[in-house]
Amino acid sequence: MRWHATESGLSLTSIVVLSAALSVTLLAGCSHWPGPDHRAVTLESIEAELAQACQPQQSLPLQLDRIEAALAAQALVLDSQTQSLSDISSKQVARSVVPARPCPAIPATPVPVLDNKILVGSTEWVFMTPPGQYLTARVDTGAETSSISATNIVRFERDGKRWVAFDLDTGDAKTDVRLEAPLKRSVRIRQASFDDIDRRAVVAFDVRLGKEVYQDVEFTLADRTRMSYPVLLGRSFLKDIAVVDVGREFAQPRAEKVTP
């Protein structure tokens, strides 16, 4: 016996088929719930996520400890290098303050040189008669004759002989003196800076140098007031009696005064 739906137009067989298909579909959907996303949302998974999130915060103190240890090690190295630099600087300063060895002092006493020769410096004391005074003399090996400072030179005759009067410049106006002396001769001297020829009078003085030299020396009279020394000793005086050390002054002591 078959039933037919007159108003809905569905047969009983169709209804049964549809019901079975719906049941299968519902069962299939229930078998897949919860899905992967739903199954992960559990209390254990939440605690695991929280522990994993808190793990970097728990390791941060360990990282800070490692950084502090590295900084401490670098500080030790820096202290060691600073100490080394300090030691080097102190050694350099110590070397710089070491006093240099002083040069040996040059003895003030006369030093004999070779046979019967004395050592004289570039400047010496001489005792001259007249006027019986000490004068400073410049030693000049480039000049042939010796010279003495004189002004107001006047030539004249006395008892048929030639004489000369002059003001002797001693280097100190208080001790300048007027002298008269026999004229030995006259010489013509050409100055290096002038073309003119200077005619000079020549007179003799007794000269003492140190303790060993005593000679009658001829001097040309010349105005040396602009010079530093009133007396110049040339080669004619130094020959055969002295060796000159231009690096020394007053190598010979003052000669003893001689009373005329």
- The radius of gyration computed from the CA coordinates of the chain, to the nearest angstrom, equals 62
As a whole number of angstroms, the distance between CA 10 and CA 115 comes to 167
Average pLDDT for 150-160: 94
Domains of the chain by residue range: 11-98, 112-245
Its pTM stands at 0.53
Please give the single-letter amino acid code of residue 116.
N
DSSP 34-67: S-HHHHH-SHHHHHHHHHHHHHHHHHHHHHHHHH
As a whole number of angstroms, the distance between CA 168 and CA 138 comes to 16
Which CATH number does 112-245 carry? 2.40.70.10
- The top-scoring range by mean pLDDT among 65-69, 125-129, 140-144 is 125-129
112-113 and 117-121 strand pairing: antiparallel
Burial of 62 (0-12, 13-18, 19+ CB in 10 A): exposed
Average pLDDT for 83-97: 62
Answer yes or no: is pLDDT of 173 > 60: yes
Name the band, by pLDDT with cuts 50, 70 and 90, for residue 27. Answer: very low
Residues listed for the chain = 260
| Residue range 177-223, pLDDT digits in tens | 999 999 999 988 766 555 667 789 999 999 999 888 899 999 999 99
3-state secondary structure 122-187: CEEEEEEECCCEEEEEEECCCCCCEEEEEEEEEEEEECCEEEEEEEECCCCHHHCEEEEEECCEEE
Answer yes or no: is pLDDT of 96 > 80: no
As a whole number of angstroms, the distance between CA 214 and CA 36 comes to 136
